[in-house]
Each structure stands twice: as C-alpha cells, then as structure tokens.
Amino acid sequence: MEAEVGAELCFPQLLNSSCRKPTLAWPEALFLHIMLSSISVLTVALNLLVIIAVSHFRQLHTPTNILLLSLAVSDFLVGLLLMPVEILLNTSCWIFGDYICCLYSYVSFIITSASVGDMVLISVDRYVAICDPLHYSSRITERRVKLCVCLCWLCSVLYSSVFLKDELSQPGKHNSCYGECVIFVDFIAGTVDLVLTFIAPITAIIVLYMQVFAVAVSQARAVRSQVTSITLHLSLPLPAKKSELKAARTLGVLVVVFLICFCPYYGLALAGDSVISESLSSFVVFLFYFNSCINPLIYALFYPWFRKALKLIVTLQILQPGSCETNIL
C-alpha cells in the first residue's frame, strides 16, 4: 500500500511534503504531449518566418510591419518558452525548482503584457492611417514606432517586476508542496492587473477599431456612389488608400481573433478560482497561447507579401547577395 501511495507522489522520498502526480491516463497524457508539442513547434516555426521576412526584406520595413514584427517576437517566445512549460505543468510534476518557476512566471507576464501593448499600438496605427491619412506619414514614422515598441517592452519588464516583486524576492513562498509551480496574486494586485492589462487596453482597442470601421464604411459607400459634390467631400475625412483599408481589415481580423483568445484568459480572474475547474483553467491558458500560432496563419491568408517571402525563405533565395532588395510587395 505504501508503494502504491509513493508511486502517486512527485517525490516519493518526501511523503509528507510531496505533491501528487497528475492523474492523466497514459494514452491521454501521450496524446496531449504530441498535440501540444506540435502546436508549440508550429508556433515557433511560423513566427520565426515572420521575423525573418520583416527583418530581411527592406521593402517590408514599414511602421505597421514593425509592430507585426514585435508581435511575432512575443508569439515566438510563447511557442519557444511558455508552451513547453505549460505542457509540463499539465502532464507531469514540476522538477526545476522554485527559482525557475518564478522566472517562468516573470517571463510569461512580460510576454503577455507586451502582446497586449502591441495590439494597442496596432489599433492606434490603423486609427491614424484610416481616420487621418493626410498626416499618417508624418505622425507614424519608423523611428517613432520603433521607440514605441521599445517602450512597450520596457514597460512590460518594469510592470512585471513590480507586480511579481514578492515572488521574485521569495521564490516558492506560496507552494503548498514539492513538485508544483504556483504564483499567488492577492486581491488588490489582481484587480490592478485586471484593469491595466485587460479592461483599459481592451476598451482602447474596441473604441479605436469602432472608429476605424465607421470611417472605412463611410469611405466605401462614398466610393461606390461616386460622390462628386464638393460639400460632401468637405464633410468626409480624406479617403485612405485602398491598401490601408485592406490592411485595416486584415489587422481587424487579427485583433478580433486576439480578443476571442484573450478575453477568456482574464475572464478567469473575474470568475474566481472557486468556480473554475482545473481542466477548464488549463484549456483557457492554452487558448490564449494558441493565438500565437494563429497570427502567422492570418498573415499567410491575407498578406500576399508574406506568402511571397515565405517562398523565398524556404527555397533559401534570401541567402543570395542583394536579396534584401527584392520586390516583395
């Protein structure tokens, strides 16, 4: 009987302080490993292609693509670092100690915050491009966008450092047993985090894209009806380029998919741990991470330049001299 009990523990030699192993059956655990590992590898590969494409081809060095590059970096890190650890947490015991657990939580907070920040910046970029196209090129420059991206990541690092200050100073202080990785967030900190990384950004994204949608619809109607009245032209904002409208639709899909995957993640915080099962909690976390795999697929579906760049990368044509000057658009 003791051997049977010991076999269910993460560390059998620590009978009184060891966590129990996950109760997944062997076939279920194997299927979960294969499926989630495949998603992780696909996420890393697809986002790496986006990073290479935008970084290599000079024609793609635009403000909007710089924002997509930042988002691809965060998605790449999700697939490379967060997904494998999440697989481990759901299928086996935590064996890497309290410090690595704390580091994982710290990195996950940074990446999550940076992803949200990137989405807000993308929404702002589309808002200016569609609602104020006359001043877009002067207001949204590569230099300013790069600065905003750097500030976004820096703020994410500083915010995560403050938010996890207690955990970083005393790793593992809230673990109830050996073999688990738990980060405790008190009510006040959780409320602040909910407002700063969910309610405020999501509200900003929705408001900005509602404005973009409204202006895009009005411009499309004006074009279809072939409005020529000077008075009506003066009452409408200067029409945006067709390419900008197409980019707004594509990035709108990106934002909608992000919201679908992101909202349940923070919905857990609103619902409370007492009404959420462990399996549902794990599903919601993986849904949020799965968004990092979907984003490059959206680029491939809607952006011809990404498909062309993908072909050049896979066939190793980017290794040829002067390939960075290739006409990709």
What are the tens digits of pLDDT across the range 146-170?
Answer: 999 999 999 999 999 988 887 778 8
Q: How far apart are CA 37 and CA 83, in angstroms?
A: 8
Q: Alpha helix (H) ranges present in the chain? A: 2-7, 26-56, 63-77, 83-91, 97-131, 136-139, 142-163, 165-169, 187-194, 200-224, 230-235, 242-271, 278-302, 304-314
Of 26, 21, 5, the closest CA to residue 178 belongs to 21
Specify the range with the lowest mean pLDDT, choosing from 122-131, 134-143, 279-288. Answer: 279-288
Question: What are the tens digits of pLDDT across the range 260-277?
Answer: 888 887 777 666 555 556
Give the mean model confidence (pLDDT) for residues 10-19. Answer: 75
Q: Which amino acid is at 155?
A: C
Strand partners, 18: 178
List, for residues 288-308, the tens digit of each pLDDT value.
Answer: 888 899 988 888 778 888 889
Q: Residue 160's closest CA among 182, 180, 189, 187?
A: 189
pTM of the model: 0.85
Burial (CB count within 10 angstroms: exposed 0-12, middle 13-18, buried 19+), residue 148 = buried
Helix axes 97-131, 242-271, angle to 10 degrees: 140
Query: 166: helix, coil or strand?
Result: helix
CA distance 88 to 197: 26
Query: In the numeric block, which tokens belong to residue 184?
Result: 């405790």
Mean pLDDT of all residues belonging to the chain: 82
State the pLDDT at residue 1. Answer: 37
From start to end of the chain, where are the E strands? none
Helices (H) and strands (E) counted in the chain, each on its own, are 14, 0
pLDDT at 5: 46
Query: What pLDDT sits at residue 241?
Result: 59
Percentage of residues in the chain with pLDDT exceeding 90?
29
Q: Is 136 exposed, middle or buried, given 0-12, 13-18 or 19+ CB atoms closer than 10 A?
A: buried
- In this predicted structure, the answer to whether residue 240 has a pLDDT above a threshold of 60 is no
In the chain the domains, ranked by start, together with CATH numbers, are 34-325 (1.20.1070.10)
**Average pLDDT of 173-197?**
80
User: pLDDT tens digits, residue range 23-62?
Assistant: 766 777 787 788 888 999 999 999 999 999 999 999 999 9
pLDDT in tens, 171-180: 777 777 888 8
Task: Reply yes or no on whether the pLDDT at 227 is more than 90.
Answer: no
